[in-house]
């Protein structure tokens, strides 16, 4: 009986160690290596670096409060929002009075023209609290405010937004969207280059 157990145990241990080595070490190492060679930017978190400093990630929303910047979705992730270590929604349901009051307040603060409807993604949070993108409608809605704060023409700012509208993958996967961080960085660069040209 003990001999049969020992005979059965040996191949079980060998297979366990073999598959642990293959699936726990070799396979992840191979995928990591392929990712680093073929897609190094994406494999390292799609980080954005400027002057040797990490400014953020294309995959994580950031809090832009200045009127001269496009604002992303509201965030309930962490105490101040947009905390990547505390990704979460508010967990407030549609019948919540706190949610209703907060949305009404944000609509009033965001509305630029009476009667203009505010895009939903400017006054609602996402499930993760870290969405880096907004709808094109939400970006175009903010053009007047950004143009006024920056001293730029509405047409110029609208053209910058238009250049950042990403279409659905393969034409049907996902929705049209605008990455807020990429848009604001491009806006800063164009304003800076315009200021240098004017000097």
- Residue 55 has what pLDDT? 82
| Cα–Cα distance, 27 to 147 (Å, whole number) | 50
**pLDDT of the chain, 199 residues: tens digit per residue:** 666 767 778 888 999 999 999 999 999 999 999 999 999 988 888 888 888 888 888 888 888 989 999 999 998 888 788 888 888 888 888 888 988 888 888 888 888 766 778 999 999 888 888 999 999 999 999 999 999 999 999 999 999 999 999 999 888 888 999 999 999 999 998 877 765 555 4
Strand 165-166 to 53-57 pairing: unpaired
State the Cα angle at 75 between 188 and 61, rounded to 5°: 35
H or E stretch covering 47: strand 47-50
Characterize the bridge pairing of strands 133-134 and 53-57: unpaired
Question: Coil, helix or strand for 70?
Answer: coil
Residue 197: the pLDDT is: 53
DSSP-assigned letter for residue 60: S
């Amino acid at each position: 009986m003990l001999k049969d157990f020992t005979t059965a145990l040996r191949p079980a241990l060998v297979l366990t160690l073999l598959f642990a080595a293959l699936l726990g070490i070799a396979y992840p190492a191979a995928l990591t290596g392929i990712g680093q060679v073929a897609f190094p930017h994406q494999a390292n978190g799609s980080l954005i670096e400027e002057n040797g400093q990490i400014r953020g990630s294309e995959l994580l929303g950031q809090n832009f409060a200045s009127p001269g910047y496009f604002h992303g979705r509201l965030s309930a992730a962490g105490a101040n929002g947009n905390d990547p270590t505390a990704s979460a929604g508010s967990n407030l349901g549609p019948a919540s009075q706190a949610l209703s009051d907060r949305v009404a307040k944000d609509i009033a603060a965001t509305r630029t023209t009476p009667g203009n409807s505010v895009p939903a993604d400017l006054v609602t949070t996402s499930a993760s609290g870290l969405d880096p993108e907004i709808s094109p409608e939400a970006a175009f809605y903010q053009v007047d405010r950004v143009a006024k704060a920056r001293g730029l023409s509405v047409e110029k700012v609208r053209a910058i937004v238009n250049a950042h509208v990403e279409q659905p993958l393969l034409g049907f996967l996902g929705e049209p969207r605008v990455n807020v961080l990429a848009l604001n960085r491009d806006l800063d660069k164009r304003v800076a280059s315009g200021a240098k040209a004017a000097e």
